[in-house]
């Protein structure tokens, strides 16, 4: 039998629960099963979220312990970078990378912006030291004033104080990109709301032009539930090709759909979100194809929990003769979700990573409650997780 071509990977089945849950003991699997069973109940999630917030606010004894050893443990790596290391090492055993995601929402002061910058610098240093951390990530609003970003996008003049504050924000972003470039650590710039996303885009492209001369160090994020994002990606590619730098593109579907629709209605402009989920899926898949067609200039990370899009990207890679472990192509999912994608992709040799949020329990509660809401709201997501865990428990019982 002849050896497999370097561009071929073993067939992937995202239903292979043996691979998906290989890292979990029977006890761990039962615990996750109980959590997703609870999250599958919309009423319970709504009631439980309110109770958790109230209990933390009132400082009820045992609340932090209970949260930390349930929903926090499922979706977060720890309260500090050091606490995340066992998770990072465990994922690394299965050839899955970790993306440390500092998930504390800032207070809107220079002090909090500087603290966030320093924390992201620490994640870059950690990525530099660890073979299991392929990316760092940050939100521009973690180091910059939202109102100023919005004002710039609206074409309004800044006051002298605002100009100075924005210069400090740009310096923070510059510090992150410079450190990432120094260590050769890829750095994701997360996408945010449309009414200041263009400001973020321009700042990110300026950093790309400076730091992406040899390879894609700085990566922008494209929310494909917006109907204009493939056009934005194409324009970014053309500008990069002309100026001689590389594009890093993280493709996601998006995170602010209801908010985008509400603000568009309030402000009287067209909703930037695609009219249907099918339209978003089609645009996402078209964007994957565009990136693979322009792989000489664009590095891509498919940040998705969608099985069809993940499978499509593996097929596009094989058709283009791109090896599964080509450093220009990555897959990523959130920690605690879609292990059937992450572990099966990694098992087949693809570059795969988990977003691993971390931070003090009380400070990451907004993130955790969004995860609970999303798992309940996304059609079939928690049910899908729940059914896969059920299937694996039955498989183990029948052995």
Which DSSP string corresponds to 69-117? Answer: TTHHHHH--BSSHHHHHHHHHHHHHTTEEEEEEE-PPP-SSHHHHHHHH
CA atoms in the 13 A half-sphere facing the CB of 49: 18
- Confidence band (pLDDT; 50, 70, 90) for 4? very low
State the average pLDDT over residues 143-166: 98
pLDDT surpassing 90 at residue 293: yes
Per-residue pLDDT of 154-163, as tens digits, reads 999 999 999 9
Q: Given this model, what pLDDT does residue 54 score?
A: 58
Summary mean pLDDT of the chain: 90
Q: Given this model, what pLDDT does residue 194 score?
A: 97
Q: Given this model, what pLDDT does residue 126 score?
A: 98
CA–CA distance, 349 with 92 (Å, rounded to integer): 13
Using the 8-state DSSP alphabet, how is residue 373 labeled? H
Cβ atoms of 85 and 92 closer than 8 Å: no
CA torsion, points 67, 70, 71, 72, in degrees to nearest 10? 60
- Confidence band (pLDDT; 50, 70, 90) for 169? very high
- Confidence band (pLDDT; 50, 70, 90) for 378? very low
Q: Given this model, what pLDDT does residue 84 score?
A: 98
Q: Given this model, what pLDDT does residue 58 score?
A: 62
Residue 158 CB coordination number (10 Å): 14
Q: Given this model, what pLDDT does residue 334 score?
A: 92
Which DSSP string corresponds to 221-283? Answer: EEETTBTTHHHHHHHHHHHHHHHT--EEEEEE--S-HHHHHHHHHHHTS---B-SSHHHHHHH
Q: Residue 166: what are its φ and ψ, rounded to 5°?
A: -70, -40
Between 4 and 308, the higher pLDDT residue: 308
Q: Report which of 105, 75, 140, 146 is spatially closest to residue 373, judged by C-alpha positions.
A: 75
- Confidence band (pLDDT; 50, 70, 90) for 44? very low
Token readout for 278 is: 């099918």
Q: Given this model, what pLDDT does residue 268 score?
A: 95
- Which residues lie closer than 8 Å to 314 by C-beta, 6 or more apart? 9, 12, 324, 345, 348, 350
Per-residue pLDDT of 212-251, as tens digits, reads 999 999 999 999 999 999 999 999 999 999 999 999 999 9
pLDDT surpassing 80 at residue 376: no
- Confidence band (pLDDT; 50, 70, 90) for 373? low
Q: Given this model, what pLDDT does residue 379 score?
A: 41
Q: Which of 5-19, 125-139, 290-304 has the lowest mean pLDDT?
A: 5-19
Helix H or strand E encompassing 136: strand 135-138
3-state secondary structure of 62: coil
Please tell me the pTM assigned to this model: 0.91
pLDDT surpassing 90 at residue 33: no
């Amino acid at each position: 039998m002849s050896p497999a071509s370097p561009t071929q990977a073993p067939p992937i089945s995202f239903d292979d629960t043996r691979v998906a849950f290989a890292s979990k003991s029977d006890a761990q699997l039962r615990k996750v099963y109980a959590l997703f069973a609870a999250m599958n109940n919309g009423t319970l999630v709504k009631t439980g979220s309110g109770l958790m917030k109230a209990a933390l606010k009132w400082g009820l004894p045992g609340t932090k312990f209970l949260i930390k050893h349930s929903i926090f443990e499922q979706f977060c790596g720890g309260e500090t970078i050091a606490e995340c290391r066992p998770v990072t090492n465990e994922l690394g055993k299965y050839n899955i990378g970790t993306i440390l995601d500092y998930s504390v929402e800032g207070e809107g002061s220079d002090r909090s912006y500087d603290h966030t910058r320093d924390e992201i610098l620490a994640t870059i240093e950690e990525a530099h030291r660890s073979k299991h951390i392929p990316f760092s990530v940050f939100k521009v609003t973690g180091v910059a004033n939202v109102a100023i970003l919005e004002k710039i996008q609206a074409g309004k003049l800044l006051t002298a104080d605002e100009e100075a504050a924005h210069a400090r924000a740009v310096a923070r972003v510059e510090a992150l990109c410079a450190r990432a470039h120094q260590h050769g650590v890829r750095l994701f710039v997360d996408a945010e709301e449309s009414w200041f996303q263009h400001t973020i885009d321009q700042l990110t492209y300026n950093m790309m032009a400076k730091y992406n001369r040899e390879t894609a160090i700085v990566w922008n994020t494209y929310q494909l539930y917006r109907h204009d994002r493939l056009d934005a990606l194409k324009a970014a590619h053309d500008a990069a090709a002309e100026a001689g730098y590389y594009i890093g593109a993280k493709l996601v579907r998006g995170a602010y759909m209801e908010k985008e629709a509400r603000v568009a209605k309030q402000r009287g402009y067209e909703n930037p979100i695609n009219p249907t989920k099918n339209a978003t899926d089609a645009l996402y898949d078209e964007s994957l194809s565009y990136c693979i067609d322009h792989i000489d200039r664009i590095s891509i990370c498919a940040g998705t929990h969608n099985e069809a899009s993940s499978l499509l990207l593996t097929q596009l890679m094989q058709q283009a003769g791109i090896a599964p472990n080509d450093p220009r192509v990555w897959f990523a999912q959130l920690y605690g979700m879609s292990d059937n994608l992450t572990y099966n992709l990694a098992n087949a040799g693809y570059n795969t990573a988990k977003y691993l949020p971390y931070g003090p329990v009380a400070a990451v509660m907004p993130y955790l409650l969004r995860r609970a809401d999303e798992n309940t709201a996304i059609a079939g997501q928690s049910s899908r997780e729940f059914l896969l865990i059920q299937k694996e428990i039955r498989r183990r019982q029948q052995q």
